[in-house]
Chain A
Amino acid sequence: MVIHVGYFSLVLTFLVALYGAGAAAYGAIRRKTEFVESARHAMLLSWPLVTVSVLAIVWLLVSGDFQVRYVYSTTSNDMPIYLKVTALWGGQAGSLVFWSWLMAAFASAASLRKWDRDRELLPWVVVVTMVTLAFFLSLSILFENPFARMWRTPDGSQVTAMFQHGGTMPLIPIDGRGLNPLLRHPGMIVHPPMQYLGFVSFVIPYALAMGALITGRTDDRWIRISRRWTLVAWLFLSLGLLLGSWWAYDVLGWGGYWGWDPVEVSALIPWLSATAFIHSVMIYEKRGMLKQWNMVLIILTYALVLFSTFLTRSGVLSSVHAFAESAIGPMFFGFIGISFIVSLFLLMRRWGALRSESQLHSLLSREALFLLNNLLLIGILVVCVWGMLFPLISELVTGQKVTVGPPFYERATAPLGIGLMLLMGVAPLSTYGRASWKPLVRALLKPLAASLLVPLVLALRGITNLGALLGFWASALVALVTLYEFWRGAVARHRRHGEILPLALWRLAGRNRRRYGGYVIHLCTVLMALGIIGIEIYQTETQATLARGEQLTLGRYVMIYESLAQFDSPGGRHITRAVVSVYRDGKYVGEVYPRQDYYYAPEMAVTIPGVRSTLEDDLNVMLVGWEPIPTEGTTFKVILNPLVNFIWLGGLLFIFGTLVAAWPDRKS
């Protein structure tokens, strides 16, 4: 019953989406508002309809209806309820429905917006979102049906099908195969939904851009409407990346926060073009420039979002993320290709109408520096695309597959990253229009001089790594310039209005939320840069086999192996757990419990490090081996990651900064 309701709700949504797209296009072309209005209702209806399907899947997952193939392959009886719910995005079929559900949520929300001033854009927003939704639903209905059940045929073989065929009997397993133990982690609750939200929410800015191209309304209206959508989409995308990184770091323990795995790279790529976009739209709004370029960026971002989903879901790449081989690859590829070509065609048609309203005058003007920022971001994007496609290209050209790994990405992106940091230090002090270098240098002088003190002091204290010094210097420059900007603005308000400084600061940010929210985000990149320098350059490690009571030293830490215990635990696990006391500079600071969980159901072990985490560093103690007789010793590996928590701290502040930038202005 639940199965049928869920499935037919998917089919119904598919039909509603197709109807919405058709009615909207017809209404727009024939100027029949009642059709557009009806299409808008269809769009509003899409989310409640997919919600029925999602609830059906969750019901099946939680109740453990193992005849359903998807439930069987992603859950098991021993899993806690929260993990059964998250299994909704634990596999291919569920993920696709979840994708559709989030997209429908954005579509429904967009339909509720007041469109009075932008009547002509609405139908095309409906067309773009509903066509995309219909595409994703068709994948679920035809290829990756989460409601498909397992049957036994009379000759004893097993088939998977939605409906019972003649002579088949239902096949109901006693227990499911369970979620991959590596996915049984709190990261599973937050990372995939954020990543997906980031992906799907770009459909709205993209749809508005397409609306502007189709209707020829190429002023900055579409950008003003999509501004907040874009920032929210960008926030989700950034959080998706950060949470994935945090999860990897937590599960892998020894510093695997970012591995340049192809799927990671493919998720970073749309983020890069989106970041370029949120910078260059400001030039579009403020100066009426870079209009064509902005269109290119939003089209590119959306195509890359789809491409990233395609790579994750199709199994094309050799990657830890490429879970399953799938039949949906060619369909996906076709959809991306068609939507990309149609977008480019629409862009070409309006190319002339998107010319700039003003010119670049100076290499040091703010618009020129924004352009440079775009160039560097796109440079990193090209590096990533090249690294990802290089094996395919080399195989085509030479017949021999040649790959590039993390060293390639690190080497090629580090200089561009430093360049971006320096820009973040300089650009906020620049001015629009005919900027000359003198006032810029004058404004820059003080923070620049102060920032040089940082590498100087560090060098005197014995830090000799050139990359680290350069990184610390760039970080200091960005931090000083940004804080200086806050200070300058607040002091000016304080003088003019006589406000006390905290109030002046508050009002300052309130008057120009995007600017000061952006500055907060710049400060986050400084924090993250500190964390990255710490883990990349100053990570240290050691290992030893210890008998009870013996100790091991790493930097300022001494660890003493106290005991080892083995026991069964709920969730179908057999746990081996060590107790290790930690001393820092000779002072006892606590115990850590490195362990290994062995899962009986999928016969798989998961190593979980014992971590002592402070802002200064993370001490990871891993249990890598033990003898049946404890006197023979237990082997530990210890990794010390200095400053790494600044990455996550930066992430928290990042949310705050984006919210400041996206917060609605008071209606004037």
Chain B
Amino acid sequence: MSKALLIARREMGAYARSPLGSVIVAGALLIDGILFYYWGLSQKMLSAEVLSEFFYAASGITMAASLILSMRLIAEERQTHTFTLLNTAPVHDWEIVLGKYLSAFGMLTILTVLTLYMPALIFVNGKVSIGHIAVGYLGLLLIGSATIAIGLFASTLTRSQVVAAIVGTAILTALILLWMVAGAVEPPLNQFIAAMAFHHQNFQPFQKGILELKGVAYYLAVTYFFLLSATKILEARRWR
């Protein structure tokens, strides 16, 4: 575990040293702010509805930022040959994957915390509960965590960050669109497919401030599945 934290710390340093981290955070905050103003402040809605719209918009930004943060994690290291340092050090593959994941999740957490001023504005000027804000942010972190895991998995498949981004986007899009597939399938299979949808059924409760354990379990399961898959890919690469 200490090796995973060591790798995470180095990665966080890399985000801080390169313009990448600040550009992603600044870009996400800018888009978040514009959408918040457009959907939240320029229309007549109840405070809770404004907050719900904010979390809906923020979930999209979070997914996009998570993919951009994670697409480079392994692909860039393999492209620049630095992955050999990790691969030949006494470090388990799961520690490499966990360290990389934690670094991107750390950056996402910073980004997410920096958006707090927007719900704070609603809280001060309107009438929303702290619980709604807390649950919404938990949802953002969970959907971001699962997206980072998907992006990290895609990053283990190729040396090219662009290809990793395309693969990650394809997996994410397929998972998001499952709710549409569910609409075209007969019961009871439709319920299962709808439950597997990445955003629709699983994120909406968070958006409304309702904490449902199935949503928490879903995002944690997706995170675990793709981190495990990424670890297995790294193990398999040693045979090539």
Does B associate with A? Answer: no
